[in-house]
A and B are shown apart, each in its own frame.
Chain A
Amino acid sequence: MAFSSPHITATAVEATSFMDLSRKHHVTGVPKTIVNDSIEILGALPEQQFVETALQPAG
C-alpha cells in the first residue's frame, strides 16, 4: 500500500522489542494494525476488507 501511494507510510513493528509501542496501542495479539494511531485492525483480513477498514475516515 505504501509503495502504491505517496501518502502512505507502512511500518512493520516487531512487537516484543518495542513494548512501549505495543502497550500504547494495546497490542494483545498479532498481527495488529494501527492506522494513524486511531483505527485498529486485529488479525489478518481479506485484502478488500483490510483496505476499506484501514482507509476509512478516522472518527
Chain B
Amino acid sequence: MGLLSDNDAQVLRQHLSAIDTPVTLLLFTQTIGGSEGGPVAKQVLDEVASLNDRISVVEKNFVLDTEDRARYAVEREPAIVVLRNGEDTRMRFLGAPTGYEFVPLVESILIAGTGQVELEPATVKMLEAVTSPTEIKVFSTPT
C-alpha cells in the first residue's frame, strides 16, 4: 500500500509537472543492520519519483559506496542527496522524509528540477557575499 493517497498523488503530480531538468535523489542506506528509516525513505522517494519521469532514485550502499559517501560528505543513514542534472545542489535530508519533512523534500525537488528559488532580493544579495563553507542543519520532527 502506498504512503500517498490517490488524491495527494494527483495534487503532487500536478506540482511536480513544473520540473524541466532531471532530478536524481541519491539514497544512502545500510541494508544489514541499518536504521528503520531506510526502507521508509526508499518508499517515500520511490512514490514521489513514480509521479514524474524526470525524477529518479539511485540507491547507494552506506557501507560499501565509500567514494560517494566522501564526495557528498554523508556521515549517517538514511541520507538523501538531491542532484540537479547530476550536479550536487547541496540540499540534503537525514532520516525518512515523512510528516513535516515531506514538504521540504518536495520543495527541494522542485528547486532542483526548475532552478527556481523564491528568495527575497535582500537574501540573494547576502548569499552572494558568502565566501566560506557554511553548513546549515535544520532539525525537525515528523509530527
Contacts and interface: CB of A to CB of B under 8 A. Distances in A.
Partners in one complex: yes
Interface in B84-143: 89-97, 101, 104-105, 111-112, 117, 119-120, 122-124, 126-142
Contacts, number: 142
A34 B128 CA distance: 20
A38 B120 CA distance: 25
Contacts of B97: 12, 14
B133 to A, nearest CB: 6
B127 A10 contact: no
Residue among A5, A22, A25 having the largest count of chain B Cβ atoms under 10 Å: A5
Residues of A in contact with B, size category: 35 or more
Contact of A14 (B111, B117, B130, B141): B141
A36 to B, nearest CB: 6
Contact of A12 (B37, B89, B131, B140): B140
Contacts of A48: 120, 122-123
Nearest to A37: B135
28 contacts: A3-B91, A3-B117, A4-B117, A4-B127, A5-B127, A5-B130, A7-B132, A7-B134, A8-B127, A8-B134, A8-B136, A10-B91, A11-B92, A11-B137, A12-B92, A13-B140, A14-B97, A14-B142, A16-B95, A17-B94, A18-B95, A21-B94, A32-B138, A36-B134, A47-B119, A48-B120, A51-B127, A55-B127
